[in-house]
């Protein structure tokens, strides 16, 4: 099974994209809602949560992990790869690849949580491959709580997004990486505020495409994963009030969320 985790609802945008682009592989999702938001946590705490989430998913039968969380991937991605021997894919490399090939003027904006932006992971990866590019990053710490609260179309969310995006707009970025898996849910708010000509790189879709390609190139692993016949399962470490309906609006169908102690 493919195990996918995030702090909360954000990773479900990745899961939905994986369901669509990689059908036939059973999925296990874990949303660590008791610890959300991850973006404001220390590196130690994030690493501990990421290890615990991975152990939980492996114990449920996961044979490949997708870190569907930029914050966990930027801080704990290497720690997970060192500790576990199964394949671990994350959201950073796929978004970096896409942004590099999308940008025409070499000026890329990145929005993400405090943890992701402080790690500078996107700028480091882009500049390592394209030293003449310019990367401007902006932390948007209020956006995850607004999404988890279901404030997807409120005037407050629009106002706060505008404030966060203004500095990147001034830098004339032509490509914007949504460096947090919660942000695809705000795409219709973000696009007009960053400018309609700016290409948005959605790490959810890019990660699902990356996984699709990984499975095509690793036929042994793909076969082993597909052979594990099981229904997709969605685990959460807590179930706050808006989560059920938001999960269903992401998937467009009823979703059974199982509350567990991970």
**Interaction site with ligand DGL (CB under 6 A):** 6-8, 10, 36-39, 69-71, 113, 116, 144, 180-182
Least distance from ligand DGL to the Cβ atom of residue 149, Å: 13
Nearest C-alpha neighbor of 113 from the set 153, 75, 67: 75
Name the residue nearer to ligand DGL (CB basis): 103 or 116. Answer: 116
Catalytic sites, residue numbers: 69, 180
Strands (E), the chain: 2-6, 27-31, 64-67, 88-90, 107-112, 134-139, 175-179, 199-202, 233-236, 257-259
Name the residue nearer to ligand DGL (CB basis): 37 or 232. Answer: 37
Half-sphere exposure of 250 (CA within 13 A, CB side): 29
Least distance from ligand DGL to the Cβ atom of residue 217, Å: 25
Name the residue nearer to ligand DGL (CB basis): 208 or 225. Answer: 208
SS3 track for 142-174: CHHHHHHCCCCCCHHHHHHHHHHHHHHHHCCCC
Name the residue nearer to ligand DGL (CB basis): 71 or 161. Answer: 71
Least distance from ligand DGL to the Cβ atom of residue 46, Å: 10
Q: Quick one: CA torsion of 158, 120, 58, 256, rounded to 10 degrees?
A: 0
| Peptide bond connecting 37 to the previous residue in cis, omega within 30 degrees of 0 | yes
Least distance from ligand DGL to the Cβ atom of residue 129, Å: 22
Residue labelled with tokens 């309609």: 196
Half-sphere exposure of 227 (CA within 13 A, CB side): 7
């Amino acid at each position: 099974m493919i195990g996918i985790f995030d702090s909360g609802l954000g990773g479900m945008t990745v899961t939905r994209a994986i369901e669509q682009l990689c059908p036939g592989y059973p999925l296990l999702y874990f949303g660590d809602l008791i610890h959300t938001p991850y973006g404001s946590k220390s590196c130690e705490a994030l690493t501990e949560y990421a290890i615990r989430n991975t152990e939980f998913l492996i114990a449920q039968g996961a044979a490949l992990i997708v870190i569907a969380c930029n914050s966990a991937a930027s801080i704990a991605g290497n720690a997970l790869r060192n500790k576990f021997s199964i394949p671990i894919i994350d959201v950073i490399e796929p978004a970096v690849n896409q942004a590099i090939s999308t940008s025409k003027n070499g000026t890329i904006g990145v929005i993400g949580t405090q943890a992701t932006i402080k790690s500078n992971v996107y700028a480091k990866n882009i500049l390592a491959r394209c030293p003449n590019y310019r990367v401007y990053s902006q932390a948007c710490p209020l956006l995850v709580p607004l999404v988890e609260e279901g404030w997807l179309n409120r005037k407050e969310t629009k106002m706060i997004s505008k404030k966060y995006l203004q500095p990147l707009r001034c830098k004339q970025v032509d490509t914007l990486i949504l460096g947090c898996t919660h942000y695809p849910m705000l795409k219709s708010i973000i696009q007009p505020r960053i400018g309609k000509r700016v290409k948005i790189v959605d790490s959810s879709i890019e990660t699902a495409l990356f996984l699709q390609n990984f499975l095509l190139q690793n036929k042994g692993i793909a076969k082993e994963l597909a052979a594990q016949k099981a229904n997709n399962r969605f685990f959460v470490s807590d179930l706050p009030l808006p989560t059920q309906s938001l999960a269903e609006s992401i998937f467009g169908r009823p979703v059974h969320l199982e509350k567990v102690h991970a």
